Homo-oligomer: A and B are copies of this chain.
């Protein structure tokens, strides 16, 4: 679903559909929900398209961001790709990030903080 929307939006915006871009969409459709780092995305794309450079991957992720198809999160020392662009809760424990889609919670937080929420990043204590 995400991939289909992304492809359509790329076309509509006049971007060329290159093999590199198609693989990137495949990979994000598959592993995007894990909030992968840019380097993890690159590794995953390389498995199916071994010659793609980080440079190309990077610039294409920026294109997706400009089109509103992904957001970028900074976590630890790395940039993570967020494919779930609707306001939601990211539950972060160590390097793991999982989505909690809870519109009611988001609405309550918006009420309390007085602003439109983009993301709520809940950082958990490291497990003992």
Chain A interface (Cβ within 8 Å of chain B)?
Answer: 74-77, 89, 91, 93, 100, 102, 105, 108-109, 112-113, 115-125
A119 adjacent to B113 (CB under 8 Å): no
Question: Is A125's CB under 8 angstroms from B121's CB?
Answer: no
| B120 and A120 contact, CB distance less than 8 A | yes
Task: Report A26 CB to chain B, min CB distance, Å.
Answer: 28
Q: How many chain copies does the complex carry?
A: 2
Q: Give the complex CA separation of A120 and B117 in angstroms.
A: 12
**Pairwise interchain contact B113-A118, C-beta atoms closer than 8 A:** no
- Say how far A34's CB is from chain B's closest CB, in angstroms: 17
* Bound Cα distance A105, B116 (Å): 17
Q: Do residues A115 and B93 form an inter-chain contact, with CB atoms below 8 A? A: yes
| Complex: A117 Cα to B125 Cα, angstroms | 6
Point out the residue from B74, B89, B113, B123 that lies within 8 Å of A124, measured CB to CB: B113
Chain B residues within 8 Å of A121, by CB: 120-123
Assess the A119–B115 pair: CB atoms within 8 A. no
Whether A102 and B112, one on each chain, are in contact in the complex, defined by CB atoms closer than 8 angstroms, is yes
A113 to B12, CA, bound (A): 38
Residues from chain B with Cβ under 8 Å of A105 in the complex: 108-109, 112
The answer to whether B118 and A120 touch across the interface, beta carbons within 8 angstroms, is no
